[in-house]
């Protein structure tokens, strides 16, 4: 049956009448029309935006941190962890990295589990090595909470001038710290804080303080039994005299109390700054003599009566000028001391 089908097809000479040149021209015109239609459809929108001339190169590709000389040395397993990460040359006194956490096999083992296909870039590896030293240096012994927020971590890792101020041209940005902490959270090396993170009164976030997990201590190579024993001892020392007899507290509860105290202190500071700025804006519109007079009335209303009773006129006047200087609305120099 197949042979008969092919034999019938071979006897059909209708295909010989097809004009292949016309068919080729028609196909070319058709695809040209489709191509022109697609290009006109995907034409880029005209805009005045353009690429800036600034450099996108990393400002601080090789950050480093070591504890200053006036800091007390870390005790116990925290000190052992810091010495595991850094080493000091006995001849020159220069501190350098002993081990690089970014080259630990754990990052290769957990790479696919966190959704990564490649290793960190060299710039991020350098930041990770320096950041781990800083995290161990400022971690709380009782709760393992890093007591520095993201902005403070970035400032500590940034190069500084002779006056101790961060050099903006070579500073470690807060964005780099935030992104790296997000990656470390995926790897299970840090834990993010729990509870309320948004300050509804001031319309901004609370400072973020991360927690070092057990896996992070394993990567450093400390003795976990000693570390947890020191944690319990420190925790017990902090809660002595605070709890009722027979009441106990866990590490999770201690961390929650630490975050509550931190958020309360942040609210008090921010509200104090807002009130101070409001008073400065109000007094800044007045002349200098009126500023002094209004500040005198403010102190007379707010200071305790016993403090005002024992205060001399000279002391009261000096306090007025001090408050004006705190608001940056006084003269460049205080008035001279009154003659006695």
Over the stretch 114-158, which tens digit does the pLDDT of each residue have? 999 999 999 999 999 999 999 999 998 888 989 899 999 999 999
Q: Are residues 204 and 143 in the same domain?
A: yes
Residue 228 and residue 102 share a domain:
yes
pLDDT of 334 > 50? The answer is: no
Burial 5-28 (b: 16+ CB within 10 A, else e): eeeeeeeeeeeeeeeeeeeeeeee
Statement to judge: residues 110 and 135 lie in one domain: yes
Residue range 187-215: mean pLDDT, rounded: 83
Q: For residue 132, which of 224, 66, 198 has the smallest C-alpha distance?
A: 66
229 and 261: one domain?
A: no
pLDDT, residue 10, reads 52
Tell me the pairing of strands 86-88 and 211-212: unpaired
Looking at 180, 208, 239, the residue that finishes a domain is 239
Q: 232 and 86, same structural domain?
A: yes
Question: Based on the domain organization, do 143 and 216 belong to the same domain?
Answer: yes
Could you give phi then psi for residue 293, rounded to 5 degrees?
Answer: -65, -45
Of 206, 239, 272, the last residue of a domain is 239
**Would you place residue 38 in the very low, low, confident or very high pLDDT band (cuts 50, 70, 90)?**
low
Parent domain of 167: 76-239
Structural domains in the chain (count): 2
For the stretch 275-303, pLDDT in tens is: 777 777 777 777 777 888 888 888 888 78
Assess whether 224 and 260 both reside in one domain: no
Q: Do the domain assignments include residue 332?
A: no
Mean pLDDT over residues 24-28, rounded?
81
Is pLDDT at 206 greater than 90 in this prediction? no
SS3 47: coil
pLDDT value for 319: 85
Same domain, 271 and 145: no
155 inside domain: yes
Which domain-ending residue is among 205, 239, 273?
239
Q: Is residue 48 part of a domain?
A: no
> Are 88 and 95 spatial neighbours (Cβ–Cβ below 8 Å)?
yes
Return the pLDDT at 340.
41
Helices 313-326 and 288-302 meet at what angle, rounded to 10? 110
Is residue 80 within a helix (H) or strand (E), and if so which, with residue range?
helix 76-85
Counting DSSP H helices and E strands in the chain, the numbers are 13, 6
């Amino acid at each position: 049956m197949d042979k008969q089908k092919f034999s019938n097809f071979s006897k059909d000479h209708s295909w010989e009448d097809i004009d292949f040149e016309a068919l080729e021209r028609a196909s070319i015109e058709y695809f040209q029309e489709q191509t022109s239609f697609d290009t006109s459809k995907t034409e880029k929108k005209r805009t005045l935006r353009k690429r800036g001339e600034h450099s996108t190169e990393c400002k601080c590709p090789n950050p480093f941190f070591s504890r200053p000389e006036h800091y007390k040395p870390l005790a116990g397993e925290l000190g052992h962890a810091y010495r595991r990460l850094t080493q000091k040359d006995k001849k020159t006194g220069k501190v350098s990295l002993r081990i690089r956490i970014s080259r630990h096999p754990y990052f290769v083992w957990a790479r696919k589990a966190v959704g990564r296909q490649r290793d960190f870039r060299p710039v991020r590896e350098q930041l990770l090595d320096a950041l781990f030293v800083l995290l161990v240096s400022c971690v709380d012994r009782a709760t393992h909470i890093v007591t520095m927020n993201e902005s403070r971590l970035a400032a500590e890792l940034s190069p500084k001038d002779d006056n101790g101020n961060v050099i903006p041209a070579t500073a470690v940005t807060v964005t780099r710290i935030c992104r790296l902490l997000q990656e470390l959270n995926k790897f299970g090396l840090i834990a993010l804080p729990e509870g309320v993170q948004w300050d509804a009164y001031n319309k901004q976030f609370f400072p973020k303080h991360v927690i070092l997990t057990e896996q992070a201590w394993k990567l450093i190579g400390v003795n976990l039994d000693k570390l947890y024993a020191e944690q319990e001892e420190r925790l017990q020392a902090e809660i002595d005299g605070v709890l009722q007899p027979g009441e106990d507290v866990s590490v999770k509860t201690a961390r929650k109390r630490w975050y509550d105290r931190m958020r309360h202190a942040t609210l008090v500071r921010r509200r104090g700054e807002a009130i101070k700025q409001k008073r400065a804006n109000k007094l800044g519109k007045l002349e200098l003599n009126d500023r002094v007079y209004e500040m005198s009335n403010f102190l007379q209303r707010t200071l305790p009566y016993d403090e005002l009773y024992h205060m001399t006129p000279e002391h009261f006047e000096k306090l007025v000028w001090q408050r004006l200087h705190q608001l940056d609305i006084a003269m460049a120099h205080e008035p001279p001391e009154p003659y006695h």
